Structure 1
Amino acid sequence: MKKLLSQLFFFSIMVILASGCTNNQNEYQDNLSKGLNKIKAGDYKAATVYLNNAKKLNNTAEKPKSLLQQVTQLQIANISLEADKFTDAQKQVSALKQGIQKKNSEPAIIVKINNLSKQLESKVLEIDRLEKMLTTAKELEKNAKYKEALSILSDIEKSNSTSKQSEQIKSTGNDLRKEVQNKKELAEIQMKLKILEEKNRTLEGKSKKQAAQKKVAEKAEDFIIEYSFDENGNMYTDYPNGITLTLTVGQKIYLKRTNKDDFERLLASGDILEWKNGSTLVAIHKGAGTIDILPHDDWDKAYTYNVVVK
């Protein structure tokens, strides 16, 4: 009888122990499963809690320890990535990749590592692209190619990257865009003024030429052509280059330089004019000819007047 009672007591203890082990194993698997689900969801803080519970329930199991290490590395990599510490993030990603190569890893971890690696590469490439674009825009701005620079700066502003470095580049690009826009508008105004001044000079030249031709046509007395030179040898006079002087026999043409310390060469062609001195011509025969005034003896800057004697 005593032997039977002893056997029953031993059996009861074994059942209790077996039941406890089964409950622990179930609880271990439950925490491990929940930890993996939280990893999939990206909730690393909650995953850490469940994995620690699983580790306590089965201290000899390797999987919770390995997963905890990988979750910690994922957390550090994410924090580094958000802070634009790309070198630190890359170290953690490299370590994670080496870890999954050495041993089988959970698919959830592999997916997270791959996603993290893609995010890191995407951010680095985008920052590099924006930096190159900003450099190009600055070079174009220096060369006064404002339209091309504004196009590139507009593309920088459209970037969807939200990293701190990207935002800083976009802010710099926005400041440069305002500066380039102002320079572009100023250049356009200056160009319009230049065109307007050129038109005014053309109209003024035509007006002077017409006035001189009218003056020549109406004038019966002698001609007095006064002229001067600037330091580059350019000639200035009220009688524009290329006009026709109409004279009668006996009329004179006086050539007078108004500034000192300069020199020129005076030429008269044909037999209709005769020099009375170094700067005075007299019409002596009917016909046509020319008078040339060469500043500093330079044919490229010469003024030529057509002469007709009636």
Structure 2
Amino acid sequence: MITRTAPSWHTEDWQILLSGSIRCPETLWKRLNLPLDTLPAALKAHHDFPLRVPEPYLDKIEPGNPDDPLLKQVLPVAQETEPRPGFVADPLGERLANPSSGLLHKYQSRVLLILSGACAINCRYCFRRHFPYADNRLSSQEFADIQAYLEAHPEVNEVILSGGDPLVVSNARLATLLKIIENIPTISRLRIHTRLPVVIPQRIDTGLLEVLGNSRLNRVLVTHSNHPQELDEVFDQAMGALRQAGVHLLNQAVLLNGINDQADVQAALSERLFQAGVLPYYLHLLDPVAGAHHFDVSEKSAQKMMAELHRRLPGFLIPRLVREISGKSGKTLIDLHLS
């Protein structure tokens, strides 16, 4: 068993940072000196989908700048309460692929576990902002049910931990689940989809490194960063610790109107991720979830931007532009019509 000492950069308890997240719109408005005339609409949107911003992320937002690209990802706005045709509560049809509590089986060779309904940050474009987490809580009994399901489906060789955010759970709970998964011989790979290393990089603590470093599974951690301003030295150190633990690192982003829909931003994000040892993986077109239509970028605009990225970047730094469509056997790659 590998035993690790605490990383020298790890000076704050991630659970304290998580519990201290800003959840009150009035507090956010005061902290960031935002226009007071936008607060009533924010309070209404907050009622439908609560605000949540952790301090390490808040520190990267420029006060007094309503166009800050990080702020726009977490700021409740009036457009969220405006219905838009085609934008629905379950844009990916996940409730049809939910055979047991906390488990989604959309693709043949892999299953996704909703390890927690909580997140460290509530992104306003979240495609699961209406997901019935209360019906998908994973108790110890559900862990046993998941084991039985995986044993009955030998075609599954990968387990994906998602949420919410799977890394909001304790290291002990994560270790318990990993032991169950590791005891199923047909499972060879573990993938973790998480935004926590971006918004609270202190989450990559000694306990987590030991849990992941001692696993027999091939481990992939997929971070979620949309803008280079989200990444800092602490993120770099966290990624370095994960690499030393033998974890493969990828990033997926969502293409967001007015935030990262310019080639300059995407190129800078790819370069910054690679500096931290993370490879760009997917760039998702927005899932049409109710309350997020103002983030949408047209496929044509996305294709034009990606063509520019192909002129600027080497292939390994270009994320694959994709759309997820309900009922499909995998992500749908967007044809860029490159000649």
Structure with the greater relative contact order (CA < 8 A, sep ≥ 6): 1 or 2?
2
Question: Would you say same fold, with TM above 0.5?
Answer: no
TM-score by length of 2: 0.19
TM-score by length of 1: 0.20
